[in-house]
Amino acid sequence: MKRVTGIGGLFFKTKDPKATKNWYKKHLGFNTDDYGSTFWWKDKEGKDCSTQWSPFSEDTKYYEPSKKDFMFNYRVENLHELLKVLKEEGVTIVGEVEEYEYGKFGWILDNDGNKIELWEPNDSAFL
């Protein structure tokens, strides 16, 4: 079974998400929107894929129970099966799987207590 297939997103806390998005847009050419910036690419089979870059407010609770100022999102192929295997391996699962038009999400903690978001994407929802 494949586990992680790519980086789905880079999320981090900032004092002023709007100013941060504007800075990256002006100086680095990011195409920003309310959520940050989406980078489009193709996987080795030629399928459309995306990676999300998103600054969050410094008081967000989204990364809890981690105390870190960032969270990584990794793309996976079969979220439900992967979470079963990870649980059997003793990995801490955080919360319940959430499903949306654009994919399924689950969360775990790594060995340093970082919250990791696992995403089984439906990239076609964005096209």
12 contact partners, CB below 8 Å, separation of at least 6: 54, 55, 56, 69, 70, 71
- For the chain, 127 residues long, give each residue's pLDDT as a single digit of tens: 889 999 999 999 999 999 999 999 999 999 999 999 999 999 888 988 999 999 999 999 999 999 999 999 999 999 999 999 999 999 999 999 999 998 999 999 999 999 999 999 987 766 5
Assigned token pair, 56: 């969050």
User: CB–CB of 37/30 below 8 Å?
Assistant: yes
Q: Domain 4-126 belongs to what topology? A: 2,3-Dihydroxybiphenyl 1,2-Dioxygenase; domain 1 (3.10.180)
Please state the pTM of the whole predicted model: 0.89
Residue 125: other Cβ atoms inside 10 A: 11
